Amino acid sequence: MVDDDTRLRDLLKSFLSRSGFRVTVAGSAAEARERLGVLDFDLIVLDVMMPGQNGLDFATELRRTNDVPILMLTAMGEAKDRIAGLEVGVDDYLSKPFEPRELLLRIQSVLRRGRPAEVAAEPGNVTFGPMQFNLALGELTQKGKRVPLTEAEIALLRALSARMGEALSREALCKSVGGGMTERAIDVQVTRLRRKIEPDPGFPRYLRTVRGQGYRLVDA
């Protein structure tokens, strides 16, 4: 948990510890960077407004090398601020003030979306172009090299891969990805995913838009 509010940080650490989580805290992005250098985490709860490097900038930096799920805490509730978080790779967000119980439910939801058990009935690999996606593990590789994905991108790619070649509506994808995802947020995630899988994201070959329907994944 990364937040410069000592009181809130300690309160939430105590609450989440009682709920069965092992919690490590940091008061700044620099302190969080030190923790990440020695420990692996299942999820990061990250505040936006912090002295020094803010949460959005830290998340952007983190996404270059790490696909750990990020749940952003923010006092900014406008759509443009939420979209900014999704664009840098944040998996979910929660506006302050909030009830600790809601944070717990959001954390559980993000972690649940990334579990292989959810797609146990759909094992195997899906191939499109030079990319290969393992449904069970949620891993994308290109010529044997792993391509980092956020939890939201994994959930989106799982939904599309499970119904390869079929057009899925934005509404259906919202339900598959979960986490209170909106149709606008699905468009943002598709744009991000195209940057990682398409030779030319401006003219997608694999993740195509189907006018009036939604999106589909094809092996072009």
pTM, two decimal places: 0.56
Cα–Cα nearest to 103, from 202, 15, 167:
15
Convert the pLDDT of each residue in 46-62 to its tens digit. 998 898 999 889 999 99
Does residue 1 lie in a domain region?
Answer: no
Of 89, 113, 137, the residue at which a domain comes to its end is 113
- Domain end point (choices 113, 145, 177): 113
12: containing domain: 6-113
Q: How many angstroms separate the first and last alpha carbons of the chain?
A: 42
CATH of the domain at 100: 3.40.50.2300
Confidence tier at 103 by pLDDT (50, 70, 90): very high
Same domain, 68 and 147: no
pLDDT at 113 over 80: no
Asked whether residue 124 falls in the same domain as residue 203, the answer is yes
Q: What CA–CA distance (Å, rounded) separates 195 from 162?
A: 21
> Please, what is the angle between helix 151-162 and helix 170-177, to 10°?
120
Hey, which residues does 207 pair with through a beta bridge? Answer: 217
65-97 residue pLDDT tens: 888 899 998 876 666 667 777 777 888 888 888
Which CATH number fits the domain that encloses residue 179?
1.10.10.10
Residue 42 lies in a domain: yes
Asked if residue 47 and residue 124 are part of one domain, the reply reads: no
Kindly state whether residues 134 and 173 are assigned to the same domain. Answer: yes
Number of structural domains found in the chain = 2
pLDDT at 164: 87
Work out whether strand 214-217 and strand 92-95 pair parallel, antiparallel, or are unpaired.
unpaired
pLDDT of residue 24: 93
Mark whether 22 and 73 lie in a shared domain.
Answer: yes
Instruction: Encode pLDDT of 179-189 as tens digits.
Output: 667 888 899 99
- Same domain? 90 vs 120: no
Return mean pLDDT, the chain. 86
- Does 105 map to a domain? yes
For residues 97 and 142, state if they share a domain: no
Same domain for 15 and 81, yes or no, is yes
In a domain, 127, yes or no: yes
Residues 128 and 195 in one domain: yes
Per the domain annotation, does 194 fall within a domain?
yes
Q: Is residue 54 part of a domain?
A: yes
Q: How far apart are CA 220 and CA 205, in angstroms?
A: 6
Q: With bands split at pLDDT 50, 70 and 90, how would you rate the model's confidence at 176?
A: confident
**Per-residue confidence (pLDDT) for residue 152, from 0 to 100:** 86
pLDDT of residue 122: 42
Residue 79: the pLDDT is 65
- Same domain? For 19 and 99 the reply is yes
- Answer whether residue 106 is part of any domain: yes
Same domain, 120 and 68: no
What percent of the chain clears pLDDT 90, i.e. is strictly above it?
40
Domain boundary among 86, 113, 140: 113
Q: What is the pLDDT of residue 59?
A: 92
Residues 11 and 109 in one domain: yes
